[in-house]
Amino acid sequence: MKVFKSSAGEMKLIGGRLCLDFVNTVDGRKNDSGRRKSQSVKTVVLGSKLEQYSDLVEWSLHSRIIMATEARNLIQESKRTATDAQAVLERALALREALYRICKATMAGRPPHGLDLKTLNDELLEARSHERLTHAVNGFTWEWVGSEAALDRMLWSIAHSGAEFLSKGDLSRLRECGGEECGWLFEDTSRNRSRQWCHMQDCGNLAKVRRFRTRLRSSSTIKR
C-alpha cells in the first residue's frame, strides 16, 4: 500500500539484506577519475532517491520495516517538526554513505575508516536503546519499543541490519554490480558465487548490448 508517490517506494530491492538495499537508494555511482592513483578511490553519487524525508518513509514502507499506519504518523509528525525531520534525513544519508564505504573497504580487503565505523556505531547505539526482549507465544524475541511517531525509527532496523551483516554475514559474498555507473551492492547467494549484476534485465542486458556494439565496431574497422 502506497502512502504517497516516490521513486524510493518503487525501486528494486536486490541487495539481499536490508542494509544493502538501503545503500542502493541511489540512481548510480561512479569512480572519481580525477583523483590521483596515490589517493583512495572516491565514488560520486549519481542522484539520490532520498531527497526528502517523505522519500525515506516511502522506502521504509516499501522495504516493510514500517507499516502504512506508522508511515502516515511519521509524515504527519515530519510536517509538524520539519527541522527534526530534515536532521533525520541527513543522518540517514550519512549512514548510507558510511555503510557503502565500509562495504567497499571490506571488498577491497582494507580496514574501514574510523569515522564510518563511528557513524554506524552511533546509530546502532541509538537503535539498541529502543530494543527490548519480550516474551511471545513461541519463546522470547526482540522488538522495537517507542513512539510510532519517532522520526528515526527506520534507522534502527537499518543500523541493526548493517551490524548483523558485517559481524555475522559471509562477507566473501558481498559484491558490487559490474554495470557501468551502477555501483549497487548485493549479497551473492548463487551456488557458484557467479552473480555479476544487480539485475540481469537491467545492467546485465545493457552490458550485453555494449559488448555487441563493440564487436560490430571492431568488425567494421577490420573490413576497411
Q: Enter the C-alpha cell of residue 145.
A: 519499543
The predicted-structure confidence for 17-60, as pLDDT tens digits, reads as follows 999 999 999 999 987 655 554 455 578 999 999 999 999 999 99
Quickly list H helices, 48-197: 53-62, 68-80, 82-107, 114-128, 153-168
Instruction: Indicate the pLDDT class of residue 178, thresholds 50, 70 and 90.
Output: confident
The pLDDT score that the predictor gives to residue 20 is 98
Name residue 156's amino acid: W
Residues 6+ apart with CB under 8 A from 96: 22, 23, 25, 50
Name residues whose C-beta falls within 8 Å of residue 104's C-beta, 6 or more positions apart in sequence: 43, 176
Query: CA dist 98 to 23, 199, 202, 205, 207, Å?
Result: 9, 24, 26, 30, 29
Name the residue among 166, 165, 205, 213 with its Cα closest to residue 182: 205
pLDDT tens digits for range 190-218:
999 989 889 866 685 655 555 545 554 55
CA-nearest of 4, 16, 19, 12 to 166 is: 19
pLDDT confidence band for 6 (50 / 70 / 90): confident
